[in-house]
Structure 1
Amino acid sequence: MSFSVRWIRLTLVALAVVFALSAYGIRAVLDGPIEQYSGAALSGAIVYAIVLFIRPSITPWIAGVIAVAYCWFIEFSQLTAIPATISAHSWFAGQLVGARFDLVDVAWYPIGIVLYMAVHWYLRTRSTRTADAR
């Protein structure tokens, strides 16, 4: 694994931690729609960071589709009793799979993901131009 791939992965882990801390910070300070919307958007961004961590060379479009599909899979699985049962036994598991379905979250996951996709696309384009200039 090259130094640049390690650096990218370390950066992605740091960003995922920042997103998670931001979501919990917003939740601690605010209540209501902003808390809910930002939590879903930041959760989507965390999933996008995880996708990039697993496959750093993936294109923004494919990473975005995978992240949205995963978020929606988890959200729609909450229409069953399985996530609620899992969440009742473990706080951490509850953070990963949730407990109840919310249609608003379905709309907000892509917003966080699209913002991250734009940054990813910009950085890839910039690094390609830098490499071409050499």
Structure 2
Amino acid sequence: MRDDDATRRRTPAPTCTRLAAAVAAVVIVGAGLALRAVAVGEVAKYGGDALYTLLLFALVLVAAPRTAPGRAAVLALALSWAVEFLQLTDGPAYLAGQSTAARLVLGSTFNAPDLFWYAVGAAAGWLAVRRA
């Protein structure tokens, strides 16, 4: 058996990856809602930040199931950081005032420690998929 044959057999089919990522996304949203219901303060905030990026990681795999785990983690982290840096403008705060969905997706206020917790979420996604 050649190396590329072994790799092909270990790589899950895109449909399986997409389904697993979609289920994970639902579980991540549930975990985020549960965290907000039972935790307060920094635990809820920073745990939510990590889960936000973990959700983006799962959604990357839903949209593009053949994406390598490292690439999906980098993309999810870049998107999270882009949204956070966008909060340095007035746009997200304005939109958050207009829509609950915009507030949940875009936030409203820049907070530098969030950048670290987004990296934690991306690393968690990468580790989970690498170990699977």
Aligned to 1:121: 130
In the superposition, the TM-score normalised over structure 1's length comes to 0.84
Aligned to 1:131: none
Superposition RMSD in Å:
1.4
Tell me the percent identity.
31
1:31 aligns with 2:40: yes
1:53 aligns with 2:35: no
| 1:86-123 deviation per Cα after TM superposition (whole angstroms, max 9, x unaligned) | 11111012111111111111110111111110121222
1:69 aligns with 2:69: no
**Native 8 Å contact 2:88 2:109 kept in 1:** yes
Query: Structure 1 counterpart of 2:87, which letter?
Result: Q
Cα distance in 1, alignment partners of residues 29 and 109 from structure 2: 20
In the superposition, the TM-score normalised over structure 2's length comes to 0.85
1:6 aligns with 2:24: no
Cα distance in 1, alignment partners of residues 19 and 68 from structure 2: 18
Query: Structure 1 counterpart of 2:119, which letter?
Result: P
SS of structure 1 residue aligned to 2:94: helix
Cα distance in 1, alignment partners of residues 68 and 13 from structure 2: 16
Unaligned runs of 5+ in 2: 1-11
Shift of 1:5: 2.2
SS of structure 2 residue aligned to 1:84: helix
